Structure 1
């Protein structure tokens, strides 16, 4: 987690750019050749070009990058290769990477997932599903600590999708509190924050405020900003007592900003959207 905190301080930004490549929304100039040739085999290369273009354009405004692994896996083995390439290039550009894989297995399987995404592919952090308890989270923390790269985990606690309420708030105590306590129990402090972070959506600010009470020293990865309707003001209840502790993800609003201006270069549009998001978050005092 230290790597992300240090990057946020250096950049003066808490913005995370989410890479969720969707070919149906790519700019036409990138897809023209594949469509004309009818060769699907070139599509992974198109995804690579798009993602690297977004990385270069948004790097000045972002603290980190989050890659949604499913979008790359959809392209098969070559897509996984692109996923690995983009992680490597982001890290070279000084952007710590979060592998958004939401794995939740145990024992040897969890260790294998951790080794794949944190060691072989080289991500700093990974998202994990705690439904199977500490056994599903600890192998990822163990691997991150072994690598000593300032990484860690972001455990799903209070997610931004609408139906999450029916599950995460249905029990007494609510499941999000149980998950938050697991995050607290597993974390080891390094610097100002622990290496065990939490996914807490900005679309549920009241719940986020309660999770912050339970996790005063954890970094929150906050989805739901931008395309999912969460605004900068909804980030405030998630902040810690220093006004930090939160990194905010925006994916579609940045990746596909060019859709609002068909004549715009997708990289320039993404850069403008990322700068705007960074500035909005600065205005509410979010920072490390």
Structure 2
């Protein structure tokens, strides 16, 4: 089944849990692991084991693998395969954004059966113009992948740009998502709207009543689960992601599992 189909079968009364996999230098050090590709592999495998049967989605942050170069990408490719073998959905947090053949090339890397790092969903940024994403969105449509478009991010630095204009720029992006979906008749696109801005997340849920929303910011960025549980009766549409907060419970798998259960 596709990403959208899998999530749509979940019960409505619970948030959709997403386990972030961020092998940062600080986390690897705290776990007693070397700050190397091998250390990132050990960390990621532990997070996968903790997520298995406790959350439907894992979200590797690509930057923390890419920093190790070709060895990091080799580890990432293996981790994606291992996650899928476990039955986990993989959301690649890559935030790609470009134009024309370049964005299409990015999509070839991540989406579809021929992609070397095939995932179920991907994050993208639309701030070169929503239309610039068309080749990637078309590939996602054709392959059954899901795309989370960054609209209202969880970091405070994004506020000035994203809230510019009337209507606000991030609200215009939501309108673009809605128009694309209406024209294609398929559920391919949702949005990234931070859990740190629950009022904006509520607006987004109402504007796109069938879409899924990646809501980062739980834990280290200060967002609290209780602030978003009252936003919609269809809680499964909110994909809550925690990365560093869950990693802080490690390195014991049992402790990370318990932290995931408590999300």
Using structure 1 for the length normalisation, give the TM-score. 0.82
C-alpha distance in 2, partners of 1:203/1:14?
A: 17
Instruction: Tell me how large the CA RMSD over aligned residues is.
Output: 2.2
Deviations 1:234-253 (A, max 9, x none): 223553x5343111111111
Q: Which residue of 1 aligns with 2:73?
A: 80
Q: Tell me, yes or no, if the aligned pair for 1:202 and 1:225 is still in contact at 8 Å.
A: yes
Q: Tell me, yes or no, if the aligned pair for 1:157 and 1:198 is still in contact at 8 Å.
A: yes
After TM superposition, give the deviation of residue 13 of structure 1 in Å.
5.8
Instruction: Confirm whether residue 130 of structure 1 aligns to residue 132 of structure 2.
Output: no
| 2:167 paired residue among 169, 173, 182 | 173
| 1:26 paired residue among 28, 37, 42 | 28
Deviations 1:152-204 (A, max 9, x none): 100001111012221211321101111111111222455xxx21110011111
Count of residues in correspondence between the two structures: 255
Structure with the bigger percentage of helix: 1
Q: Which residue of 2 aligns with 1:262?
A: none
C-alpha distance in 2, partners of 1:89/1:6?
A: 24
Alignment of 1:160-239 (within 5 A): 160-187=154-181, 188-190=184-186, 194-236=187-229, 238-239=231-232
After TM superposition, give the deviation of residue 9 of structure 1 in Å.
4.9
Q: Which residue of 1 aligns with 2:238?
A: 246
Deviations 1:60-97 (A, max 9, x none): 21120111111110001110111111111111111111
C-alpha distance in 2, partners of 1:7/1:59?
A: 18
Q: Which residue of 2 aligns with 1:46?
A: 39
C-alpha distance in 1, partners of 2:43/2:177?
A: 35
C-alpha distance in 2, partners of 1:207/1:13?
A: 17
Q: Cα 1:13–1:220, aligned 2, differ >3 Å: closer, same or farther? A: closer
After TM superposition, give the deviation of residue 30 of structure 1 in Å.
4.5
Q: Which residue of 1 aligns with 2:58?
A: 65
C-alpha distance in 2, partners of 1:81/1:233?
A: 38
After TM superposition, give the deviation of residue 214 of structure 1 in Å.
1.5
Alignment of 1:91-106 (within 5 A): 91-106=84-99
Using structure 2 for the length normalisation, give the TM-score. 0.89
Q: Which residue of 1 aligns with 2:256?
A: 270
Gaps of 5+ in 1: 35-39, 259-264, 278-288
After TM superposition, give the deviation of residue 145 of structure 1 in Å.
2.4
1:131 partner SS: coil
Q: Tell me, yes or no, if the aligned pair for 1:7 and 1:63 is still in contact at 8 Å.
A: no
Deviations 1:96-128 (A, max 9, x none): 111111111011100000110222201111111
Q: Cα 1:210–1:128, aligned 2, differ >3 Å: closer, same or farther? A: same
Larger Rg: 1
Q: Cα 1:29–1:198, aligned 2, differ >3 Å: closer, same or farther? A: closer
Structure 1 segments, 4+ long, off by >6 Å, are none
